[in-house]
Amino acid sequence: MKNVIEVKNLIKEYKNIKAVDGISLEVKKGEILGLLGPNGSGKSTTINCILSLLNFEKGTIQIFGKPMAPNAYDIKREIGVVFQDVAVFEELTVEENIDYFCGLYINDKRLRKQYIEEAIELVSLNEFKKFYPKQLSGGLLRRLNIACGIAHKPKLIFLDEPTVAVDPQSRNNILDGIEKLRENGATIVYTTHYMEEVEILCDRVIILDKGKVIANGTPDELKELANMEEKVNVEVDSITEKQLEEIKKLKNVDEIYYHNQNLTVIYKKGKNNLITLIDYFKKESILYDKIYSERPTLNDVFLELTGKELRD
């Protein structure tokens, strides 16, 4: 599969601190790449370097097989960027805002009108075309922000936290719209703090930390990196320190965590772990409510690799 983005040995320094420390990565044509990392990992700096919004000390960046540069306007016409901070004009309606941003790339009025209608349809803003931004909810405003960034039908789209602080309906609408963009041939670089979105959308995930790539693979491949086989979560009415110590000594148990009546038991290997734990509860007359077993999640992988929650 052809690479849309190729970054090799990228280094960006701030006062002798390497915000990006030799990063190499590629984004394949037609894929949705999840670019993840805790705050300060170098994620935003890497994207800004790729977009030629920042100068960098060393490395090469190619987009569509051509060197990227601040004056590479032929490349930039094919890129759409939707930053986390909403950037629209308050004095323009929804339709007028989209028309303005689309007009930066599309001169043909008839074609632009078609693109505007398709962008409005994509983010489901048909009922709000004549509304001004101040009349829109946070979720609708984010949909408008996305429409402004993708109306000119770019081949490469950067989406930075597009679902932050939106209502569930808008979130689902945005996720559906992103799927449609990919179906229409776009390549997408996606950053988010919501791991469930990564599992739903992303074909491949790159995790950054301290300016380096520390993991690269499909969501399933990354889950294989987790140093656990199974995680059991259970809500218990009460449990003693002695019982917690005994659970820790049960077969295959690696770690346990107990907080606010929530017990988590991590297993490295083995079968029938849940049954063994339930049998122990019965023997000790420990009352419990919900109990369920799950395989390692991307968040588990993230914690092991970075030592931080993604939302830190």
19: Cβ–Cβ under 8 A, 6 or more apart, which residues? 12, 13, 42, 45, 211
pTM metric for this prediction: 0.87
Quote the pLDDT of residue 135: 97
80 beta partners: 157
Quote the pLDDT of residue 267: 92
Tell which residue, 297, 111, 307, has the closest CA to residue 219: 297
Angle at Cα 193 formed by Cα 187 and Cα 196, nearest 5°? Answer: 75
Q: Is 311 helix (H, G, I), strand (E, B) or coil?
A: coil
DSSP 82: E
Quote the pLDDT of residue 235: 96
210: left (phi over 0), alpha (psi -120 to 50) or beta: left
Q: Which domains does the chain have, with CATH numbers?
A: 3-223 (3.40.50.300), 230-295 (3.30.70.100)
Q: Residues for the chain: how many in total?
A: 312
Cβ–Cβ < 8 Å for 295, 217:
no
Quote the pLDDT of residue 161: 92
Quote the pLDDT of residue 283: 95
Taking 50 as the pLDDT cut, the residues of the chain under it are 312
Cβ–Cβ < 8 Å for 145, 151:
no
Q: What is the 3-state secondary structure (H, E, C) of 58-79?
A: EEEEEECCEECCCCCHHHHCCE
Quote the pLDDT of residue 310: 59
CA distances in angstroms from 104 to 61, 196, 309, listed in the order given = 24, 35, 39
Cβ–Cβ < 8 Å for 35, 46:
yes
222: Cβ–Cβ under 8 A, 6 or more apart, which residues? 205, 207, 215, 298, 301
73: Cβ–Cβ under 8 A, 6 or more apart, which residues? none
Phi, psi dihedral angles at 53 (to 5 degrees): -90, -15
Quote the pLDDT of residue 311: 53
Other CB atoms closer than 10 Å to residue 57's CB: what's the count? Answer: 10
Phi, psi dihedral angles at 201 (to 5 degrees): -100, -40
Quote the pLDDT of residue 305: 86
| Arithmetic mean of pLDDT over the chain | 93
Quote the pLDDT of residue 224: 84
